[in-house]
Amino acid sequence: MKTVKELSTEEKLRLICGKGRWHTEDLGGKLPNVMVADGPVGLRMERKTEDGKTEAIPAVAYPAIQLLANTWSTECARQMGKCLAEDCLERGVDILLAPGVNIKRDPLNGRNFEYFSEDPYLAGTMAESYIGGLQSHGVGVCIKHFCANNSEYDRLHQTSDVDERTLREIYYVPFEIACKAKPVSVMCSYNRVNGTYAAEYKKGFDVLRGDFGFDGAIFSDWDAVRDRTASAKAGLDIEMPFNEGNYEKLVADYRAGKLSDEELDACAERVLNLVARCKEMRKGKKASSTEKERRREAMRIASEGIVLLKNEGVLPLAEGQSVFVCGSFAKATPYMISGGGSACVRWEEENFDLPEKLAARGFAVDYEKAFLVNDTGAWQNARTAVLKAGRSDVNIVCVGTGVGIEYEDGDRKTLRLPAVQERAILDTAAQNPNTVVVLFAGSAIDVSAWVDRVKAVVYAGFTGEGGDEAVADILTGKVNPSGKLSETFPLSIEDVPAANTYKCAGVTRYQDGLDVGYRYYDTYEVPVAFPFGHGLSYASFAYSGLTAVREGDIVKVTFEVENTSGAAGKEVAQVYVRECAPLVYRPLKELKGYAKAAIGAGGRKKYCVELPMRAFAHWSAASDRWEVTEGDYEILVGASSADIRLRAKVTLPEIQL
């Protein structure tokens, strides 16, 4: 392995710019290099067809990150990371360009399906496990997009104007937590942060490296570099993809003394280290499972993340019931049930067929496509569907969004489903009181037009290719639903703070500050359709026996959950913290811990969650550090952010972290 001292200046300048679209530079074979590929919901690689076109190579399509987050299971996150690592090992990929950990500040953000949550603790901890799964199996990650990249609108120019405390408490946090898993790389975002391009955001890079212990390399997002010299000075190590013009300008700038040798060496050294680390990490690693087994895992993870939003006794389906299924999502074609852009995976297995999977589980099933995603005309001819809905015991309407609505480089226009889909729900539900809506969407939907007219809502999300099996298992009760929402479903877009803050052609002002998602709805008592953390089960759970005891640097929280039903299930319990008499503004409560456990029918489980002092601290703008204010803190344990079951108090002294 060469060191930076053994390279000429020209070689170093070349090294800090990528080679083509997907490799780091190898100086004509003098150096080893690495290959990168997208992420995060499956491996997206391209090949040239005989007629010179570029096409995606099929790969296992896992559930979208949004659905993974709804599992609230770090085991699932780790397992998905492991499976993805094995896909990468088999295809020669050293670094997966994943995961995306940006906060869902605005439910309309076109890339929300790629991100974990509106809550930074949930996003960070799930990402940490996902990264652990990938890197412990030999494949590096590239966490993205640093930072404050929370909408796609005019993403190459927008500045996210956000204050330091909000960055520290909300937008940096997922990166900070993810850094505990020692990611080999981070990718900057396209947008500007407080006026400075993210590719040149030295202050942020210094926080990553200085405060969060990040010791890897920083990649640019693809074509995010405007001025290679400025970005190198800021500490951005690799520009991707290779850009001839930017490279020539960099060389000229160096010659003109605009980039110092120390600055150049720092970046070049980190590129060398990155490659060496990836090669070392990969040594002796081989896939231990087949693609078929990984598809099974994808399906299992999807079934663990599917959220039962509403159920008035109609689910699970009862044996012998006749079922009518309508909507094109039930027999999805590839790309239908996924978001668009760099995270879009070409499915390996293309037979997505929910009616068939229900029939295979012993139900009499009839199906009508009846409507497409957006085509209003299709529903006008759907009299057959309405008639059939009326004649069956249960009517299942499959609706959603997909690549045409949720995609990179643009935001959704509305939180509502396309009119034809709302119409289909309302018209069939009018004929059949036992109507179930299955929602295939990558982010929150405004359900207000139809939710009161149906008996059950299953939020399937972007399930990946095993989604038909996963949804069938949930509907029939083979799998007891245990997913919970990682983002709020607001009543309407008007209620979302981000929708009401200042935005012009170039500037998005984060005047909502810390009030993102449930932090806002709870504090200001704004009603929502389905709260953060919500998710029903076919079982029922009772919480009891909360204790919260300070033991040195942690507060140990324990409680018990009893399964009071006759069905085995899994319960995600959430631990929120509230400062009783804060000296600075604090949202009403914030998630600081969670745990998921399987509990047999009639069984009990003890939950134990340890809260470090950081769980109680705020970022002090007065002294630029984390501080715990002396006083009382409430520990709130709940089944969702709106369903708090237990409360306890701890008293803490003043602490500077």
What's the 3-state SS for 561-612? EEECCCCCEEEEEEEEEEECCCCCCCCCCEEEEEEEEEECCCCEEEEEEEEE
Q: Residue 342, interface with ligand BGC (CB under 6 A)?
A: yes
For the record, the structure tokens of 81 come out as 């990371």
For the chain, helix, strand, coil in percent to 5 are 30, 25, 45
Q: Which residue, 4 or 142, is less far from ligand BGC as judged by CB?
A: 142
- State the virtual CA torsion across 450, 426, 443, 335 in degrees, nearest 10: 180
Q: How near is the Cβ of 83 to ligand BGC at its closest, in Å?
A: 19
Residue with tokens 């012993």: 362
| H helix intervals, 116-218 | 120-135, 164-166, 173-178, 202-206
- Distance (Å, whole) CA 641 – CA 588: 11
- Sign of the C-alpha dihedral computed for residues 119, 122, 127 and 128 taken in this order: positive
Each residue 13-32 as x (binds ligand BGC by CB under 6 A) or -, in order, gives --------------------
CB 611 within 8 A of CB 577: yes
Candidates 147, 144, 148, 156; CA nearest to 186 is 144
Return the DSSP state at 44. B
For ligand BGC, the binding residues in 123-162 under the rule CB under 6 A are 144
Residue 206 among the catalytic residues: no
Nearest alpha carbon to residue 436 among 566, 336, 564, 306: 306
Nearer to ligand BGC, 97 or 439 (CB): 97
CB atoms within 10 A of CB 582: 13
Supply the minimum distance, in Å, between the C-beta of residue 257 and ligand BGC: 33
Region 545-604 residues binding ligand BGC, contact defined as CB under 6 A: none
Q: Which is nearer to ligand BGC, 223 or 263 (CB)?
A: 223
Per CB under 6 A, contacts with ligand BGC among 498-527 are none
Residues 390-429 as x/- pattern, contact with ligand BGC by CB under 6 A: ----------------------------------------
Nearer Cβ to ligand BGC, position 21 or 383? 21
Q: How far is the CB of 536 from ligand BGC (least distance, A)?
A: 34
Q: How far is the CB of 426 from ligand BGC (least distance, A)?
A: 37
Distance of alpha carbon 328 from alpha carbon 467, whole angstroms = 14
How many CB atoms within 10 Å of residue 607? 21
* Closer residue to ligand BGC, CB minimum distance, 221 or 515: 221
CB 209 within 8 A of CB 235: yes
Which among 63, 67, 483 has a CA at the least distance from the CA of 308? Answer: 483
DSSP 311: E
Instruction: State the nearest-atom distance from the C-beta of 476 to ligand BGC, in Å.
Output: 37
Closer CB to ligand BGC, 228 or 519, in the complex: 228
Among residues 171 and 222, whose Cβ is nearest to ligand BGC? 222
Least distance CB 101 / ligand BGC (angstroms): 12
Mention every residue, 6+ apart, whose C-beta is less than 8 A from residue 483.
67, 70, 71, 72, 304, 305, 306, 307, 308, 459, 535
Paired tokens of 171: 């937008």
Given candidates 4, 33, 38, 423, which one binds ligand BGC under the rule CB under 6 A?
Answer: 38
Binding to ligand BGC by residue 97, rule CB under 6 A? Answer: yes
Least separation in angstroms between residue 97's CB and ligand BGC is 4
The DSSP letter of residue 479 is S
Choice between 103 and 399, CB closer to ligand BGC: 103
- Determine the straight-line distance between the first and last CA of the chain, rounded to whole angstroms: 40
Site for ligand BGC (CB under 6 A): how many residues?
6
- In the complex, the smallest distance separating the C-beta of residue 102 from ligand BGC, rounded to whole angstroms, is 10
In terms of CB distance, is 45 or 639 closer to ligand BGC? 45
Minimum Å gap between C-beta 563 and ligand BGC is 41
Rounded-to-integer distance, Cα 600 and Cα 605, Å: 9
Query: Which of 87, 94, 119, 221 is flagged as catalytic?
Result: 221
Which tokens go with 244? Answer: 């001839």
**What is the closest distance, in whole angstroms, from the C-beta atom of residue 222 to ligand BGC in the complex?**
4
Q: Shortest gap between Cβ of 38 and ligand BGC (angstroms)?
A: 5
Which listed residue (94, 106, 128, 221) binds ligand BGC by CB under 6 A? 221
> Burial, 294: exposed, middle or buried (Cβ in 10 Å; 0-12, 13-18, 19+)?
buried
CB of residue 46 to ligand BGC, shortest distance in Å: 10
Closest listed residue to residue 67, CA positions, set 548, 473, 463, 413: 463
Q: Based on CB atoms, which residue is closest to ligand BGC, 345 or 628?
A: 345
495 is a contact residue toward ligand BGC (CB under 6 A): no
* Orientation of helix 383-391 relative to helix 419-431, angle to 10°: 40
Among residues 72, 171, 201, 222, the one that binds ligand BGC under rule CB under 6 A = 222
Closer residue to ligand BGC in complex, CB, 142/307? 142
Which residue number, 142 or 398, has a Cβ lying nearer to ligand BGC?
A: 142
Letter for the amino acid at 383?
R
What six digits make up the tokens of 56? 């995606």
Phi, psi of 292 (to 5 degrees): -60, -40
Structure tokens at 243: 């850009």
Chain positions contacting ligand BGC, by CB under 6 A: 38, 97, 144, 221-222, 342
Residues with catalytic annotation?
221
